[in-house]
Amino acid sequence: MALLDIVTYPAPILGKPCKLIENIDEDLVCLVEDMTETLYDAPGLGLAAVQVGVDKAMLVYDVAEDEDSEGTGLKVLINPKIVHTEGKVTSENEGCLSVPEFRADVPRFACVTVEGVDQDGKPVKIDAEGLLSIVLQHEIDHLDGKLFIDRISSLKRSMYKRRVAKAMKAEG
């Protein structure tokens, strides 16, 4: 296993929809292992393949019930899609490993149903609410070429983009 570099905004790959996965092979299994190690090292709740520079519709997440159970709730979703949504909620103080040093309140669906396949190619259907619903929406957004900053007000988004541009200019 290896730690992977996390791609950060404004990298162009983050704004493009990912390619669907047609075969679960040894390379994909290795990617899952590396993404898992990277997720726990970051630390984060979820990580999409695009966030480590891989154009594949896959994500890993771990929404453990308590902080002492790190690693026990790891799940892999391949080619996930949201097939049903219900209600509205505000994800307070949402952040992202690819959008460092910025958090915001983000409008989300209260409940979602997600379908995809697991790392063994078996169909998966998840009815999610609460934190799991938010994490799945956030990571699937990545696979669709969206960041959480695309879901906040244009004023807050432009303030963040200006701050990043200024920092990049200062770095040379």
Residue 77 · residue 116 · CB < 8 Å: yes
CA–CA gap between residue 87 and residue 109 (Å, rounded): 5
* 138 is an annotated ligand-binding site residue: yes
Sign, CA dihedral 22-114-32-9, equals positive
DSSP code of 3?
Answer: -
Q: Determine which one of 26, 94, 129, 139 is catalytic.
A: 139
Closest CA to 110 of 84, 139, 74: 84
Contacts of 154 (CB under 8 A, 6+ apart): none
* 84 is an annotated ligand-binding site residue: no
Three-state secondary structure call for residue 101: strand
* 96 is an annotated ligand-binding site residue: yes
The single residue listed with the structure tokens 């699937």 is 140
Contacts of 26 (CB under 8 A, 6+ apart): none
139 catalytic per annotation:
yes
One-letter amino acid of 102? F
Query: What are the residue numbers of the active site?
Result: 139
Annotated binding-site residues for Fe cation read: 96, 138, 142
Q: Which residues are annotated as a binding site?
A: 96, 138, 142
